[in-house]
C-alpha cells in the first residue's frame, strides 16, 4: 500500500448554485491526486500513455459526508491499495482544513492498450516502480 497527500484549493467554477462544490468535480480531484501519487514513485501518467497504455476508470464509488466551499484548501489522501492482472485499486479520503472528512471514494482502473482499448497487463515500468516503493 502506497499513500500520498495532494492538496488543492477549490476554484470558483467548481461550485454550483447550492454554494458548494458540485459533486462531479471530486472525480477530477481523485484523478489528479492518483497521478500525483504515481509521480512520487517516478512515473508520470503522461509517460504511461506514451508507452502505449491508458488507464480508464472502470468503477467508482463515492460517499459524500460534508460539503466543501469555494477557496477551501482540500487535502486528498490517496492510497494505492492493490494491483492485480489488468486492474489497479485506489482509495481516497478528502479532508478540509479542519480535518473534517468531506468524502471518501474508491476507484478501480484497468490498463488498456492505447490503440485498441484491449485490457492488458500493467506495463513493467509501473510494476517495477511500485515494487521498488514497497521495498523502501
Contact footprint for its own copies (CB under 8 A): 11-13, 15-20, 22-25, 27-28, 31-32, 35, 44-46, 54, 56-64, 67, 70-71, 117
CB of 135 vs its own copies, minimal distance in Å: 27
CB nearer its own copies, residue 65 or residue 134: 65
CB nearer its own copies, residue 44 or residue 131: 44
Residue 20 CA to residue 15 CA, distance in Å, equals: 5
**What is the phi-psi region of residue 101: left when phi exceeds 0, alpha when psi lies from -120 to 50, beta otherwise?**
beta
CB of 1 vs its own copies, minimal distance in Å: 23
CB of 77 vs its own copies, minimal distance in Å: 18
Residue 65 CA to residue 27 CA, distance in Å, equals: 15
**DSSP 8-state assignment for residue 119:** B
CB nearer its own copies, residue 2 or residue 45: 45
- Residue whose C-alpha cell is 447550492: 18
CB of 115 vs its own copies, minimal distance in Å: 11
Q: What are phi and psi of 63, to 5 degrees?
A: -115, 120
Residue 98 pairs in a beta bridge with none
Amino acid at each position: 500500500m502506497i499513500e500520498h497527500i495532494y492538496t488543492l484549493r477549490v476554484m470558483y467554477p467548481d461550485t454550483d448554485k447550492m454554494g458548494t462544490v458540485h459533486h462531479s468535480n471530486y472525480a477530477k480531484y481523485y484523478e489528479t491526486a492518483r497521478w500525483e501519487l504515481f509521480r512520487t514513485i517516478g512515473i508520470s501518467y503522461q509517460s504511461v500513455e506514451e508507452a502505449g497504455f491508458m488507464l480508464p476508470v472502470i468503477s467508482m464509488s463515492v460517499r459524500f459526508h460534508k460539503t466543501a466551499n469555494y477557496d477551501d484548501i482540500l487535502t486528498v489522501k490517496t492510497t494505492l491499495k492493490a494491483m492485480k492482472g489488468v486492474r489497479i485499486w485506489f482509495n481516497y479520503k478528502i479532508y478540509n482544513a479542519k480535518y473534517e472528512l468531506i468524502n471518501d471514494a474508491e476507484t478501480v482502473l484497468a490498463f488498456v492498450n492505447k490503440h485498441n482499448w484491449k485490457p492488458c497487463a500493467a506495463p513493467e515500468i509501473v510494476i517495477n516502480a511500485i515494487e521498488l516503493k514497497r521495498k523502501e
